[in-house]
Each structure stands twice: as C-alpha cells, then as structure tokens.
C-alpha cells in the first residue's frame, strides 16, 4: 500500500513563518530609508530623525537622484512616499526572542479581532440563510416568475452582485448565492 503524503497544517505553517520572521530580526540589519512625498505644492523629506519641507522643483529631485518627472507628483500618479536612493540609515536592532514568538499569535488575534468577528458573523449568517433553504426557495420563486426569461434573470442577478461587490464589498456573500 503506497504511503500517503500529508501537507502541514495551516497553523504549523503560520508558526513556522513567525519563527522565520523572528530569526531574521537577528540577521537582517535594522534601518530605514528617508522618503520623499508631495503635499500642498512642496516636497516633504522624512528621515528617521526629522521631517523637512523643501521646494517642489526639479533641482530637488535631481539632487536626490530621483528620475521621476514633477508631473507624476502633481497628477497624483505618485501618491505614496518614495524611498530616496542611498539614504539608508541603520536603527537600533530589536531582535525577537522566544517570548515574542509565543506572544505573536495572541497579539495578532487581539489586533485583528474586529475582522475575525466580522468573518465569523458573516459566515454564520450565510450558513443559517443557506440551511433555512431561503436561497433555493427565493431563486426557485424568481425562476418560476420569470419562466421563459431565465437569461434576464441571470443577467439581472449578476449585475446585482456586481453592484453589491463594488459598492460595499459584497463579494464574500456572493459565494453563498
């Protein structure tokens, strides 16, 4: 009888990633690049120690070795701060130990509990909705009412789900329907 290969459990994989991330805090040097952003007609240069406002000119971008046209900043194409080449500054290391590794899952759950509860409640709602047979009965009723025009039913339901998914994020609910 051939031996079946099993995959690692998801929690085992996640814990392995946490341990790997903790090990990298000992190996990779801590540091940060200075960043350049555009705000209210001026450039803002942020360093780990300070924030400086400089004129919005091509001379500034040239002196920082940034080859991006000024129009890209004005149009909003570049909306997030960009790293300035050659400006890496080392910071104090903050290596993580065994206690940090053990606390990481609890800290992660604590910081994302609102998302976790939303997903659990949404899943419970969809499960109850599905178990009650409301989905099948509702769609069966629609099919009965639109006998001979099922193509329009499919098109209209598709557009309802598209509108729900793009306006308030109903993409997860559409999976149940």
pLDDT digits (tens, 9 = 90+) for 12-23: 999 999 999 999
51-55: strand order across its sheet: 51-55, 42-46, 35-39, 82-83
Classified as helix, coil or strand, 49 is coil
pLDDT surpasses 90 at 156: no
Residue-level pLDDT at 176? 53
The answer to whether 37 and 82 have CB atoms below 8 angstroms apart is yes
Residue-level pLDDT at 172? 60
- pTM of the entire structure? 0.54
More confident residue, 162 or 100: 100
pLDDT surpasses 70 at 173: no
Average pLDDT, the chain: 87
Torsion of CA 137, 142, 145, 151, to 10 degrees: -140
CA distance 26 to 3: 39
């Amino acid at each position: 009888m051939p031996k079946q290969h099993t995959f690692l459990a998801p929690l085992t994989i996640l814990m392995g990633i946490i341990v790997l991330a903790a090990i990298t805090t000992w190996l990779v040097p801590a540091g940060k690049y200075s960043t350049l952003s555009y705000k209210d007609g001026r450039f803002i240069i942020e360093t780990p120690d300070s924030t400086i406002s400089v004129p919005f000119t091509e001379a500034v971008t040239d002196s920082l070795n940034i080859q991006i046209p000024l129009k890209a900043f004005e149009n909003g194409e570049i909306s997030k701060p960009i790293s300035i080449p050659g400006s890496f500054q080392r910071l104090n290391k903050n290596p993580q130990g065994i206690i940090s590794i053990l606390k990481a899952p609890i800290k992660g759950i604590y910081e994302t509990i609102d998302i976790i509860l939303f997903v659990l409640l949404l899943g419970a709602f969809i499960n109850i909705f599905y178990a009650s047979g409301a989905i099948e009965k509702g769609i069966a009723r629609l099919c009965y009412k639109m006998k001979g025009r099922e193509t329009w039913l499919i098109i209209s339901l598709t557009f309802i789900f598209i509108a729900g998914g793009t306006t308030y994020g109903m993409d997860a609910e559409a999976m149940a329907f």
